[in-house]
Structures are given as C-alpha cells and as structure tokens.
Chains A and B, each alone.
Chain A
Amino acid sequence: MTVSADSREASSSATGGADRAPARSALRGRRPGGRSASLRVALEVAFFVGPALVLFSVFVVWPIIRAVQFSLYRWKGFGPLVDFVGLRNYVSVLTNDVFIGAFTHNMVIVVLSLLIQLPVGLAIALLLNRRMRGQGLLRTIIFVPYVLSEVIAGVVWFQLLQPEYGVIDTLLGAVGISGPEQGWLGTPDVALYTVFVVLTWKYLGLAVLLFLAGLQGVPDELIEAAEIDGASWWQIQRRVTVPLLGPTLRTWGFLSLIGSIQLFDMVWILTGGGPANATTTMATFLINEGTKRYNYGIATAASVILFAVALVLAIGYQYFVLRRDVVDADAGSRRVR
C-alpha cells in the first residue's frame, strides 16, 4: 500500500512540479504538529538553497541590476554616480557605427554557423555513423579542438596565419595561390571570414559529436525496416535518420547561436577587433569602451543591448525552430510508421 503510493509519488515528481499529496500525509503522520513541521521545512530549504542563492545573488543578479543602473549614467568608474543621462548612452551606442558594425559581425557569424557548420557537421556525422575500426579514436580526435581554450586555438592559428612566413601562406604558395598581402587577418575584407574559419575549426567537432550521439538514439529497427523495403542509404538518411535527429540539431543550433552572440575570446586574440574595426563584436566593443576608455555607461548600455539581442534571438529560436522541429518529428515518425 505504501509502496504503491510512493511509486505513484515518485513518478509524478519525475514529471516535475506535480502534486505530491500522498507523501505529504505520510510525512505529517511521522512529524506531528503542522505549523512546526512547515517551519522546519522552510528552515531546511533555507539551509540547502541558501548558499547557492546568496552566491547567485551577489555575483549574477546584483551585477546585472548594476549594469542596468550604470547604463543610465555617464560614469568613468570612480566617484559617485551623479551624472544621470537617461537613455542617452543607449542612443549613442545604437547610433555608433562601430557598434552597428559589431552587431552585423555577430549576425554574420550566427548565420554562417548555421548555414555552413550545420550541413558540414551533419554530413561528417552521417558518414562516420557506422561500425568501422578506429571509431572511438576518431571521435576523440574530432573533439580535440573543442577542449582547447579559444585562447590557445587563437594563438596557434595566429601563428599559422602570419602573412608570408606562416605555414598557411607557404602551403598555399606551393600550389600557386598567394594570400592577401596584409595577411588573412590583416585585410579588412577577409578578416571576419578568416575568424569564422578558425571558429569552425574549433567548434565543428562538437557539432559532429553531438550529432553522432543523437544518431545513437535512432533505432536500428527503423533503418533495417527501410533497408528491407529497398531504400537506398541516401533515402534512409533523408527520410528516417535526419528527421529523427531534430531535437539534437535544435540543441546544437541553440548552443551555436548563444556562443556566436557572445563571441569575444577568439576575436580578441586573433585581431583585437581590427583591422579598421572589421572584426569587432558586441563583446569586444563593450570591453574596449569599458576597460580602455573607461566609458562605463556606454559599455554597460552595450551589454544590456547585447543581452536584449540574445534574449530576442533565443526566444525567437525556441518559438520558431521548436515548433517546426515538433512538426518535422511528427511527420518523420508518421512517415516511418
């Protein structure tokens, strides 16, 4: 009797936030006195959640509130906050050509990531998703760039991309291609795309590994059934595997989106935002304003705008892609049924 109540309780709690009435009455029976029991629960909750909540409030919530506050003042980082300027910092950020350029660069990285890394990563994952010798080793190798810090990857690529003396230009020269005179990172027209190539090198492995993990969840029975029905390898991938991979693709897309909007380390190491502001991002803009020019009001206004952009894109992504994803998955499973 107790066992059945408990298992029901456990299953309802696993679905999250459901009513847990049976266990409550059991608990009351054991600990008499409703009020002192609930006070006790409150104290226990405070004991367990308290440390995390304090840490979170001091280092996450409070700085964010201060960011909004700073963004309304003209402030150089010392003395009291007195020079209230309302929304003027926001106006000056949003009309600043450098910031608009930075925002555009972030968006270019977002779009290029989805357009290039997704299909390439998916193609590699589909090709490697089979029993073959060395699979484990291959996975580990693919993961190497992801576990390196952006700084280390950036420093190494900075050396590889040196104009003339760098190994990339040497190898290209051997097949008769000459790189740009100012170097791949020094030429405004190509610098951003060069940064994107390095980012792709670093993050493609994560996409492949996530997709491979998702492919493990595609049941063999469906693929066998399709094979028996005479489907080609290509048809199986297109009609069975990829539709069932929807949730994994969405997960990766979200990680990629958030990462692209916050992009800082790699750009800071490779170009510092140059040449001629050709590779600035919103994050490099705000760090530049904050730590080099001490325009804390401008910098925090830019950070609030960065957050707003991230929030809008995240919500929009969840709303549109999540919905299409559900439709796709339904259609996919209906088709295979």
Chain B
Amino acid sequence: MSTVVDTGQKLRRPRASGPAQGGSPLVWFVALIVVAATLGPVMYAVLGGFRTNAQLAESPAALPNPWVLDNYQRVLTDPTFWRYALNSTVIAGITTLIAVVFGLMAAYPLARYRFRWREPLYMVFVLGLLFPATVAIIPLFVIITGQLHLGNTWWGVALPQAAFALPVTIIILRPFLMAIPNELEEAAFIDGASRIQVFWRIIVPLSGPAVVTVGVLAFVASWNAYLLPLLLLQGDMRTLPLGVADFSSQYSSDTAGVFAFTTLAMIPALIFFLAMQKRIVNGLQGAVKG
C-alpha cells in the first residue's frame, strides 16, 4: 500500500480529483455552513466586545449599535491582563526552549549512535506518551509545591510541561535525525571535529524544520494549558486561560466585558497558531504514526 502512495507522490501534478472542478453549488453550500458554524461563535465574541451589556440583553443577536470601545479599552488598560499575558508568554517560552533543547540532545544519540541500551532508552520516552499529565497531577502538585518549593512560579509550571512534551519531541525528531546523511558527520570527524561540535555545527542547523514543528507543538500545548496552572498558580502568577476563566466567573453578569477579555486573550495566539497551522497538523500526524 505504501508503495502505491509513494509513486503517487513522485508523479504529483496539479490536483484534479473528482469530476467536479471547482465548486458545485452543493460544495459551496456545505463550505458556507461550515464557515458560519466555525466562525459564528468567535465573531459573536469579537463583536460582543464592541457592544454594551444593555445592547446584549436587549437583542442578543444584533450587531453593535453604536460601537463602543469601552470594553476593550478597559481590558487593555488593565495591568493584570498584561501580567497574565506576560506569564503565559514566559512559561510557554521556557517550556518550548527546554523541551526542544533537551529533546534534540536526547534524540541525537538515540538516532545516530549504536549502544546496547539505545532501544530500551527510547522506549522509556515512548511510554511517556501513554501517561497523560492528568494521571500524575496530584503527585506533581505535591512534589512541586512541597518538595521543590516551585509552587506559584514560572519554572514550577514550565519544567513539568517540558517533561511531558519530551516524548512527542523525541518521537518526531528521531526519524528526522536518522535521515540526515552519514557522510556529513563522517567528513566532520575526519576534519577532527568532536561529537559536540558535530552536533552543534551539523545536526542542529540541519534539523531546523523538525525543530520548528516540535517547538510549535510544545508552545501551543503550554499556551493553552489549564489544569496544571490551575493547581499551581494563584494571584499575580496566573496565565491567560486562568485569567479568562476567573474573569468570566467573577464578572459573569458583565457579558460584554467577558467577550472583550476573551477576544483579546485569543487574538495573538490565534494569529501565531494559524500561521503555524501546517506544522501543527504535520506534528499531530507524526506523533501517532511514530
């Protein structure tokens, strides 16, 4: 079966699958429904932020009339919003950096060395995929707050998140590193390079695309994470998802304010993640196929 697919990819030419070139009315109709159902709730939140609570209560399904900027202004001038955004950014940044650096380092010998414990060592990380963070969440809370004294800190959230991102990182990176031609390494060794130099000068630059993929996956997971921050972070240390959830339960009657807060919390991530859409899809496919 795979051979069939391979030849297809080699002989790829402009797609012309299905007799209906372009869109038939049915296709356009389905596309329209999908777009409306997908964007409807998001647009409603964005527009709802431009309305007053009185407008929302009077006719929930109407457009802003008049448009008010007050809700967005209030959120944007609220220092706690920026504080949450900072926390989210720093935690996602640390998580990504550690997961990518440690993951790439670990994937290198697991891909390109031969030693007796290579496959068992690899399996240790692969098995990590089977353990969702939820399973370990209570002991993690106890260990991080009680023993490591990292409760309510950036590192306390970032380190376990990076650890749980390692399996996917290593599983995606290993086959990629295996595919790098051996001649490059050999040539460097002949020129007297050490292993670490080879890693730094050859492997790291060549693994760029795969590193971006695993980096985006780690960043997205951390940026959207809720459960671990919920247990570990309070007050000023909260991240945007915690801020959004708390804001919405604290000011649940201020619907317009909730919409404005939520919209502003999702926009930067939305732009970044949509730009990285292809990487995320590829990564998710690769993560399970192995």
Residues of A within 8 A of B (CB): 2-3, 6-7, 9-10, 13-14, 16-17, 20, 23-24, 26, 30, 41-42, 44-45, 47-49, 51-53, 55-56, 58-60, 62-64, 66-67, 70, 77, 124, 127-134, 138-145, 147-160, 162, 165-167, 170-171, 174, 201, 205-206, 208-210, 213, 215-224, 227, 233, 236, 241, 244, 247-248, 251, 254-255, 258, 261-262, 264-265, 268-269, 283, 286-287, 290-291, 296, 299-300, 303-304, 306-307, 310-311, 314, 329-330, 332-333, 336
Contacts and interface: CB of A to CB of B under 8 A. Distances in A.
Contacts of A155: 244-245, 248, 258, 262
Interface in B233-249: 241-242, 244-245, 248
Given A52-B166, A59-B163, A159-B255, A147 B220 contact: yes
A225 to B, nearest CB: 12
A143 B277 contact: yes
B5 A60 contact: no
Contacts of A265: 226-227
Contacts of B131: 60, 64, 307
Looking at chain A's contact residues, is the secondary structure mostly helix, strand, loop, or mixed?
A: helix
Given A128-B27, A130-B17, A147-B270, A64 B139 contact: yes
A60 B139 CA distance: 10
Contacts of B140: 59, 63
Interface in B170-192: 170, 175, 178-179, 181-183, 186, 189-190
A45 B113 contact: yes
Given A143-B274, A151-B244, A303 B164 contact: no
B9 interface: yes
Given A128-B27, A130-B23, A148 B288 contact: no
Contacts of B30: 124, 127-128
A6 B186 contact: yes
B182 A23 contact: yes
Nearest to A330: B1
Given A140-B277, A165-B60, A286-B138, A223 B115 contact: no
A131 B41 contact: no
Contact of B114 (A20, A133, A150): A20
A122 B126 CA distance: 29
Contacts of A30: 189-190
Interface of B: 1, 4-5, 7-9, 11-23, 26-27, 30-31, 34-35, 37-39, 41-42, 44-45, 48, 56-57, 59-61, 98, 101-103, 105-106, 108-115, 118-119, 121, 124-125, 128, 130-132, 134-143, 159-160, 162-164, 166, 170, 175, 178-179, 181-183, 186, 189-190, 195-196, 199, 220, 223-227, 231, 241-242, 244-245, 248, 255, 258-259, 262, 265-266, 269-270, 273-274, 277, 280-282, 284-285, 288-289
Given A124-B34, A131-B21, A150 B166 contact: no
B106 A251 contact: no
A50 B112 CA distance: 16
